[in-house]
Amino acid sequence: MTHGFLDRSRDARIRRLAIPALGTLAIEPLVSIVDTAFIGRLGTNAVASLAVAAAVLSVAFFLFNFLAHGVGPLVAQDIGGGRHDDARALAGNGLALALIGGVVALAVVELGAPQLIRAAGGVGSIEDAAVTYLRIRALAIPALLLVTLGNGVFRGHADTVTPLWIALLFNLINAGLDPLLIFGLDMGLAGAAWASVVAQSTGAVLFLVMMVRRSMLGAPRLAGSGRLLKVSRDFLVRTGSLVLTFFMATRVAASISEPALAAHQVATQVFFLLALATDSLAVAGQVLVGQYIGAADGYSARLVSDRLIAIGLAAGSMTAAVILVTRPFLGSIFLNDPMALDELGTALLIMAPVAIVGALAFVWDGLVMGAGDFGYLARTMVIASSVTIATLLTIQAQGWGLAGVWWSLVLLMILRSAMMIPWHRRLGVVSR
């Protein structure tokens, strides 16, 4: 099957899905980086407050990202198999879960904000500001989950263009409100939070309107809810393990120093932004593999999987090169503290191998999701995360600094990729 890596016959379909998906995926991290750049003008303390609040919010987001990465492949399988009513009912079930889960998550964060911030390492001078930011941003959690669902439903219908336009609009609102609220109205960090709330709420309304107009939503079916609940269970295990790992990385960075925490926040945002090229390939994998599996065409699913792995490796190598080339001047865009800049330079140097190995992990995630093998993803992520968290705790005890934190993330990506190789060879989509 090695010829699949060089088979370009499906490249046009991959491009039609991946390029708009890249735009959609890139917009929000770009705006987050703009947020960080604006907040960085307020000082290292403000960036550190943002870092711990963002770590808490990422838990709420990632625990529910099955609404995109789980719903999308399942809808694609239904569409590929001609089961359009099932696809609409699945979207309806997803909407119900998004609304219920959003309200519950909002209540948990609002009531437990101080405890959550302290658990993330937000103590001392950054605690009060981080709690304020978190409580404001939490108001948009239900809207954020609706946006996540909308992305998944449209992806399942092989439409990655509409989510791009919606994301562009509401993130432009965010970017426009940032300077007005942070500096113009002198609201500081709270102003950045309110800008995000307004923008994400706008995005949720737009997605809901478009799904209704295009008849993508159906009435929820209790009989069909088991399918989505099973996926959500596996995704909660998988994503919960991953989020816990990055949460612990932030906590260890916070225990090192405030400059190290600020540098870690910037490095993490830069990494996820640059990794989006391969994440967009994962979206293409979810859709194409899902449709081929739904149509019982395992051969085509395997060929497109091979091709996406090859493209992902090339994209990861290019990302690593960009990191190394921009490393000498990138930090000064976000930080003005010399100690934080020094820490960031170290993290960026280690980030290069993370980008290469991580590219394979991200693409394989998309392929396995498209095949509907969410249980395998959950099991392998638990193993990789457990080893990485143990390493992070050792680093904290030994005092190996921020470099140790980022070498732990290299280990995470290596383990994730290594455990996908046997799936691709023996448990891959060709056997489905």
Query: What number is the average pLDDT over the span 155-184?
Result: 90
Q: Over the stretch 392-401, which tens digit does the pLDDT of each residue have?
A: 999 877 878 8
The answer, yes or no, to whether residue 32 has pLDDT greater than 80, is no
Q: What is the DSSP letter of 342?
A: H
Q: Over the stretch 224-275, which tens digit does the pLDDT of each residue have?
A: 677 788 888 898 899 889 888 988 998 899 888 888 888 898 888 788 777 7
Average pLDDT, the chain: 86
Query: Which amino acid would we find at residue 84?
Result: H
Q: What's the distance, CA 185 to chain centroid? A: 31
Please give the pLDDT value at position 6. 61
The answer, yes or no, to whether residue 200 has pLDDT greater than 80, is yes
Q: Exposure pattern of 44-60 as b/e (b: 16+ CB <10 Å)?
A: bbbbbbbbbbbbbbbbb
The answer, yes or no, to whether residue 2 has pLDDT greater than 70, is no
State the Cα–Cα distance between residues 98 and 132, nearest whole angstrom.
Answer: 25
Q: Is the dihedral of CA 31, 33, 36, 41 positive or negative?
A: negative
- Give Cβ neighbours of residue 112 (< 8 Å, ≥ 6 apart): none
Give the per-residue SS3 of 287-333: HHHHHHHHCCCHHHHHHHHHHHHHHHHHHHHHHHHHHHHHHHHHHHH
Tokens 């992902």: give the residue: 312
Please give the pLDDT value at position 128. 83
Q: pLDDT confidence of 71, banded at 50, 70, 90?
A: confident
Query: What number is the average pLDDT over the span 51-57?
Result: 84
CA angle 374, 378, 379 (to 5 degrees): 120
Q: What's the distance, CA 257 to chain centroid? A: 26
The answer, yes or no, to whether residue 431 has pLDDT greater than 50, is no
Please give the pLDDT value at position 1. 43
State the Cα–Cα distance between residues 86 and 216, nearest whole angstrom.
Answer: 10
Please give the pLDDT value at position 188. 86
Choose among 301, 373, 287: nearest CA to 72: 287
Q: pLDDT confidence of 4, banded at 50, 70, 90?
A: low
H-run or E-run covering 35: helix 11-40
Q: For 10, list phi and psi in degrees, rounded to 5.
A: -105, 10
DSSP code string of 271-283:
HHHHTHHHHHHHH
CA angle 285, 164, 272 (to 5 degrees): 65
Q: Are 253 and 396 in contact (CB under 8 A)?
A: no
Give the per-residue SS3 of 348-398: HHHHHHHHHHHHHHHHHHHHHHHCCCHHHHHHHHHHHHHHHHHHHHHHHHH
Q: pLDDT confidence of 432, banded at 50, 70, 90?
A: very low
The answer, yes or no, to whether residue 204 has pLDDT greater than 90, is yes
Q: What is the DSSP letter of 57?
A: H
Query: What number is the average pLDDT over the span 154-180?
Result: 91
State the Cα–Cα distance between residues 311 and 58, nearest whole angstrom.
Answer: 28
Please give the pLDDT value at position 9. 66
Q: Exposure pattern of 246-257 as b/e (b: 16+ CB <10 Å)?
A: bbbbbbbbbebb
Q: Over the stretch 372-398, which tens digit does the pLDDT of each residue have?
A: 888 999 999 999 999 999 999 998 778
Lowest-pLDDT choice from 99-108, 311-320, 328-337, 381-390: 328-337
Tokens of 155: 């992806």
Q: Taking the domains of the chain in order of start, what are their residue ranges? A: 2-431
Q: Over the stretch 145-164, which tens digit does the pLDDT of each residue have?
A: 999 999 999 999 989 999 99
Q: What is the DSSP letter of 223?
A: T
State the Cα–Cα distance between residues 263 and 272, nearest whole angstrom.
Answer: 14
pTM for the model: 0.80
Query: What number is the average pLDDT over the span 71-77?
Result: 88
Choose among 95, 99, 77: nearest CA to 86: 77
Please give the pLDDT value at position 301. 83
CA angle 214, 218, 221 (to 5 degrees): 160
Query: What number is the average pLDDT over the span 170-198?
Result: 89
Query: What number is the average pLDDT over the span 92-105?
Result: 91
Query: What number is the average pLDDT over the span 99-127?
Result: 87
Q: Over the stretch 404-419, which tens digit does the pLDDT of each residue have?
A: 999 999 999 999 999 9
Tokens of 355: 């980008």
Please give the pLDDT value at position 430. 43
Query: What number is the average pLDDT over the span 182-190?
Result: 87
Please give the pLDDT value at position 426. 63
- Give Cβ neighbours of residue 416 (< 8 Å, ≥ 6 apart): 361, 364, 365, 380, 381, 384
Burial zone of 226 (CB within 10 Å; 0-12 exposed, 13-18 middle, 19+ buried): exposed
Q: Are 63 and 236 in contact (CB under 8 A)?
A: yes
DSSP code string of 394-411:
HHHHHT-HHHHHHHHHHH
Please give the pLDDT value at position 66. 80
